Structure 1
Amino acid sequence: MTVTPDPSKCPICGEPNQCSLSNPAAATQTCWCFTAEIAPEARERIPDDALNKACICPRCARGEPPAKL
């Protein structure tokens, strides 16, 4: 069974990804990730079924570990 990723959640850590394209109120704005440098190790951690379907969050994009609760 294939689960479609939530476009508003980071597919790496599950936290909100701050994607403007997944937010109807901000969908006309450019997403932060369009101009961000994404760490190579972050790209490698994106699950195959989430590629091009959900943004990662800024923390994961920088290659940082998920926030501890």
Structure 2
Amino acid sequence: MTVVIDTARCPLCGEANRCAMEIERETGQAQPPCWCMAADFSLAPLDTLPPALRGQACICARCAAGKPPAQD
């Protein structure tokens, strides 16, 4: 079984991660520095991420800050 990973989505919550580096890779158009270059990831629940998904896609700013997903 192959897992398809959407690199534009946060692997923790599924929301758009807005990764400028991924946008540049996909479009070939230069982007400003990504928000993640200055982010503090110390509160991110990275230990909940399955090993197979680690290092495959950026997490979003909300997850990086350790905030829970918005409830609809």
TM-score grouping bracket, smaller chain normalisation: 0.7 to 0.9
Q: Is 1:57 aligned to 2:60, yes or no? A: yes
Structure 1 unaligned runs (5+)? none
Distance apart, 1:2 and its partner CA: 2.8
Q: Residue 7 of structure 2 corresponds to which residue in structure 1?
A: 7
- TM-score normalised to structure 1 length: 0.79
Code of the residue aligned with 2:21 in structure 1: it is L
Q: Residue 38 of structure 2 corresponds to which residue in structure 1?
A: 35
Deviations 1:22-41 (A, max 9, x none): 21276543221121001344
Specify whether residues 29 and 20 from structure 1 end up closer, same or farther in structure 2 by C-alpha distance, changes over 3 A only: same
RMSD between superposed Cα atoms in Å:
2.0
Tell me how far apart the structure 1 counterparts of residues 29 and 68 of structure 2 sit (CA, whole Å): 27
Specify whether residues 59 and 41 from structure 1 end up closer, same or farther in structure 2 by C-alpha distance, changes over 3 A only: closer
Count residues with an aligned counterpart.
Answer: 69
Structure 2 unaligned runs (5+)? none
- TM-score normalised to structure 2 length: 0.76
Q: Is 1:48 aligned to 2:48, yes or no? A: no
Between structure 1 and structure 2, the one with the greater Rg is 2
Distance apart, 1:4 and its partner CA: 2.9
